[in-house]
Structure formats: structure tokens, C-alpha cells
């Protein structure tokens, strides 16, 4: 067993053709140390090579092709005669046999993949001997609730470094954010520890499975932990999260969302956001009102309407965007709310 923590060790199959793996070192290496660190890393794994402080990312666009070329024997990739007969049957379109063969070559045989991961781990072992690794993460298909010791050790290392990783995030789509998005798919396997991943939670809300995993963790937080987490976010980021179309319905189900929204609006006013920030609010506020109406949460609707009615000058720079999107309320049959909303926007002109 490697003497560094890792996540992704229990699944040999990557989620996509493109591989991006991440190494978090105990200390950020110097420029010279970076050059020495990647000695021995195959060239095909340097397609996505990048550094940010103690984080190293490596990988390639079509890892299946590399595995097939470098780690497989011809015999292991061949369809049997029975398989060829089956996939050439009259119920299959022309070309099905070739497509199935390609899929098996890419993902159907574990042995080439295990040999590939073994070669990467041998390189990591050599690196770790000179520069200690705090966590190695590669995107695989995690097994929810995996009790394996490697998985538990990797999760513990993730939690211990969560605040550190979050602190490295400085700009949109940097390596720290990528790492947090990948890590959330493993953190969600232990909902009881959601509060330990909280420092990374705001940046882990990516698309699709990342967003869903982040939402599960957010909802798993105890009320006091959730309150601490939300208060710690920058005002615009907090309000944006509370109004996200994939987050809002679940938060409404938890109850008391009107109070959270009121606090978020107060914080955003106090922060004095620029025009882009106000436009970001306008982009989501009407969709949020419709979601509140569909979930029969008049308190949240009232908070949003009262905010627009009470502070028209604050939202005036975004009034054009608000007017353009107001049809969502009317078209969904919320006439009374729409009339108040329309009047509030008119006061901004």
C-alpha cells in the first residue's frame, strides 16, 4: 500500500475519456523542485500539466487510447466468437460489432487499466519519497459509503486539508477549484462529516454530479453548521448560492429559508456590489420567485418582493434585466406576485 493518502483507489474506471489527476503536496515546491518532481512522468500525461502552489495536475485527453496502446495485449481486447455472433445478429444495426469492440477496448477490460494505474503509482511513490504527498486524487467512479481503509484514509486527509485547499482558491476555474469539485464526489460518501468539507463546499458546486453531491452535503449540515457556512461566504456568492435553481428547492424543503434570504439581501446591500454583481442577482431572482411559488413558500416570495420594493434605487442598474425576466411569474399563473413585482421594477426606472 502506498504511504500517502489517496482518493479514487477503489475504482479502476475513470468517468470520462479525459483524465485529470491531482496531487496535493505537504509543501509548495520551488520552480526547480517542480521540474525535478515531474521527471519520470510520461509525456502523454503532461497534456494537462499545471501547478498552483502545492497542487499539481496531470492527465491526457484520451486516456483510454493511451491505455489501449501502452498497457494492453491484443488477446485481451478481442471479442470471442460467441460475442461476435451475438453482436452481428439481425437485431443489431450495421457497425454494432465494431462499436462494441471499441467500447471493450476502452473500458471493458480491467487489467490494462490496473497496469496503467500501477505505473502512475510507482511514479508517485518515487515522488513521495522526496516530497511528501498530502493527498492524491484521481476521478473515478466512487463507491458510496465505501468502508475501505484507503478510502477512509483519503477522506481524512481531505478533511484535514479542506481549509488549506479552499484558501488556495484565488480566481475562477483555478486548480484549487477543480480539486474541490472532484473531491466533493468522495466527500458525499460520508454525509456525517459534511461540516468537515464545508470550507470547500462553496467552490464545489459545479455542474451535474458535482452540483448534486455538493447539495447533498449542504443539506446534510446541521442548522448551526449551515448558518456558519453561509455567513462565511462573500455576500454575492452567498445570495447566488441561496437562489440557485438546483439548490433552492431543497433549501425550501428545509424550512426557514425566508430568514436566510433576508440576511443575504442585507449583506449584499452592505457590500456595494458593482454592476456585474447586480446583474447576476437580476439574472436569477425571478426564477427564484417562481420556484418559491411552486413550493408554496410565501415567506420567501415576500422577502424577495419586499427587497425590490424597499430598495428600488439599489437595483435600478439591473432593472432592464429584471423587466426582461418578469414574464416567468405571469406565465406560471402567479398574477398577484407578478403585479407587485412589475410595480417594483417600474419604480426603478
pLDDT of residue 221: 94
Residue with cell 493527498: 135
Cα separation of 341 and 349, whole Å?
13
The pLDDT tens digits for 176-212 are 999 999 999 999 989 999 999 999 999 998 777 888 9
Nearest 5°: the CA angle 116, 12, 131 is 60
Q: What percentage of residues in the chain have a pLDDT greater than 90?
A: 46
* pTM exceeding the 0.75 threshold for the entire prediction: yes
Mean pLDDT of 298-320: 91
Cα separation of 182 and 180, whole Å?
5
How high does pLDDT run on average in the chain? 85
Q: Identify the residue with better confidence: 311 or 73.
A: 311
pLDDT of residue 110: 74
pLDDT of residue 115: 84
Helix ranges (H only) for the chain are 31-37, 63-71, 74-77, 81-87, 96-103, 110-130, 149-168, 175-187, 194-201, 209-220, 223-231, 235-242, 248-254, 257-271, 275-294, 298-310, 312-315, 319-325, 327-331, 335-346
Q: Which three cell numbers stand for residue 201?
A: 463546499
**53: helix, coil or strand?**
coil
Mean pLDDT of 71-87: 64
Cα separation of 162 and 167, whole Å?
9
The pLDDT tens digits for 205-214 are 877 788 899 9
pLDDT of residue 298: 85
pLDDT grade, residue 98 (50/70/90)?
A: low
Ranked by mean pLDDT, the top range of 128-137, 208-217, 251-260 is 128-137
Q: Is 220 exposed, middle or buried (0-12, 13-18, 19+ CB in 10 A)?
A: middle
pLDDT of residue 63: 87
The pLDDT tens digits for 30-52 are 999 999 999 999 999 999 999 99
Cβ-Cβ contacts under 8 Å for 172 (sequence gap 6 or more): none
Examine the pLDDT at 141 and tell me if it is beyond 80. no
Distances, alpha carbon 184 to alpha carbons 90, 136, 189, in Å: 45, 14, 9
Distances, alpha carbon 295 to alpha carbons 235, 261, 341, in Å: 25, 16, 18
pLDDT of residue 334: 77
Examine the pLDDT at 10 and tell me if it is beyond 60. no
pLDDT of residue 99: 62
How many other CB atoms sit within 10 Å of the CB of residue 135? 26
Examine the pLDDT at 1 and tell me if it is beyond 50. no
Amino acid at each position: 500500500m502506498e504511504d500517502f493518502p489517496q482518493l479514487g483507489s477503489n475504482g479502476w474506471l475513470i468517468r470520462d475519456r479525459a483524465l485529470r489527476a491531482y496531487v496535493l503536496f505537504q509543501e509548495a515546491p520551488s520552480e526547480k523542485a517542480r521540474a525535478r518532481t515531474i521527471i519520470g512522468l510520461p509525456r502523454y500525461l503532461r497534456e494537462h500539466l499545471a501547478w498552483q502552489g502545492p497542487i499539481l495536475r496531470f492527465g491526457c485527453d484520451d486516456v483510454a487510447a493511451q491505455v489501449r496502446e501502452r498497457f494492453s495485449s491484443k488477446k485481451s481486447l478481442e471479442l470471442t466468437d460467441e460475442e461476435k455472433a451475438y453482436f452481428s445478429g439481425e437485431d443489431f444495426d450495421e457497425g454494432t460489432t465494431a462499436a462494441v469492440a471499441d467500447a471493450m477496448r476502452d473500458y471493458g477490460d480491467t487489467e490494462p487499466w490496473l497496469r496503467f494505474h500501477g505505473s502512475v503509482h510507482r511514479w508517485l511513490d518515487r515522488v513521495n519519497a522526496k516530497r511528501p504527498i498530502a493527498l492524491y486524487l484521481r476521478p473515478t467512479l466512487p463507491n458510496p459509503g465505501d468502508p475501505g481503509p484507503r478510502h477512509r484514509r483519503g477522506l481524512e486527509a481531505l478533511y484535514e486539508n479542506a481549509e488549506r485547499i479552499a484558501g488556495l482558491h484565488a480566481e475562477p476555474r483555478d486548480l484549487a477549484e477543480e480539486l474541490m469539485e472532484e473531491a466533493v464526489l468522495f466527500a458525499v460518501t460520508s454525509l456525517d462529516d459534511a461540516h468537515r468539507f464545508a470550507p470547500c463546499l462553496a467552490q464545489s458546486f459545479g455542474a451535474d454530479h458535482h452540483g448534486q453531491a455538493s447539495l447533498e452535503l449542504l443539506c446534510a449540515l446541521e442548522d448551526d453548521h449551515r448558518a456558519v457556512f453561509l455567513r462565511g461566504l462573500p455576500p454575492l456568492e452567498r445570495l447566488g448560492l441561496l437562489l440557485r435553481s438546483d439548490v433552492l428547492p431543497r433549501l425550501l424543503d428545509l424550512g426557514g429559508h425566508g430568514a436566510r434570504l433576508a440576511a443575504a439581501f442585507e449583506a449584499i446591500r452592505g457590500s456595494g456590489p458593482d454592476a456585474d454583481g447586480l446583474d447576476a442577482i437580476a439574472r436569477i431572482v425571478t426564477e427564484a420567485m417562481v420556484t418559491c411559488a411552486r413550493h408554496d413558500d410565501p415567506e420567501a416570495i415576500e422577502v424577495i418582493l419586499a427587497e425590490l420594493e424597499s430598495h428600488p434605487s439599489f437595483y435600478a442598474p439591473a432593472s432592464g434585466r429584471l423587466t426582461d425576466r418578469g414574464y416567468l411569474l405571469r406565465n406560471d399563473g402567479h398574477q398577484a406576485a407578478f403585479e407587485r413585482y412589475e410595480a417594483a421594477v417600474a419604480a426603478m426606472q
